Structure 1
C-alpha cells in the first residue's frame, strides 16, 4: 500500500452457535470495560494500556486480554491516544 503496511482485524464465529460484536473504541483517558454474558476480548492496537487492578498489568500493542462472564469490570488507562477493540462472543445455541 502507498501509506505503508496495515493490520487487518477479522473476527469469525460459527453461525447459529456463536454471535459476536466488535467495538472500535478510541480512548485518551481511563475507560471502564464490563464483561457480558459470554467472552470479552480486549485488544489494544497502536499503543499500550495499563490494566488498573490490585496488581497493575500492562498490555502492549496487539496483546489480547480475555475476560469471561465471571470477570469484574475492568479499568484501562491508555498510554496516550489509543485505539482499543472490544470483541464480545456469545453462545447462541447448544453445540451438539
Structure 2
C-alpha cells in the first residue's frame, strides 16, 4: 500500500537484514524474502560474516546483495587473512 500511495518503484527500495534476524524463524524469513523479491524489492544481508557460520541459508533465502562486515574491510590492507576472507566472500556472492 505504501508503494502505491507514494508512487515509489519497488526497484528503488532495498531492505537490509542481518543473518541473526533471518535465523530466528527461517521458514517465515524465507517466505517474506521471496515475496519481497517477487515484488521487485532488493534485499541485502547486512554484517555478513559475523553471524552464522552455516552458509546453507545463502541457498534458502532470496537476496541480491551481501554487505561484508566492517571488521573484515577495515583490516584488509594490514591483515592477509581479512583480505582472503573478503576475496572469498566476493567470489562466493558472484557465484550465487
TM > 0.5 fold call: no
Q: TM-score, normalised by structure 2?
A: 0.26
If each structure's strand is expressed as a fraction of its own residues, which one has the higher value? 1
If each structure's helix is expressed as a fraction of its own residues, which one has the higher value? 2
Q: TM-score, normalised by structure 1?
A: 0.26
Which structure carries more relative contact order (alpha carbon 8 Å, separation 6+)? 1
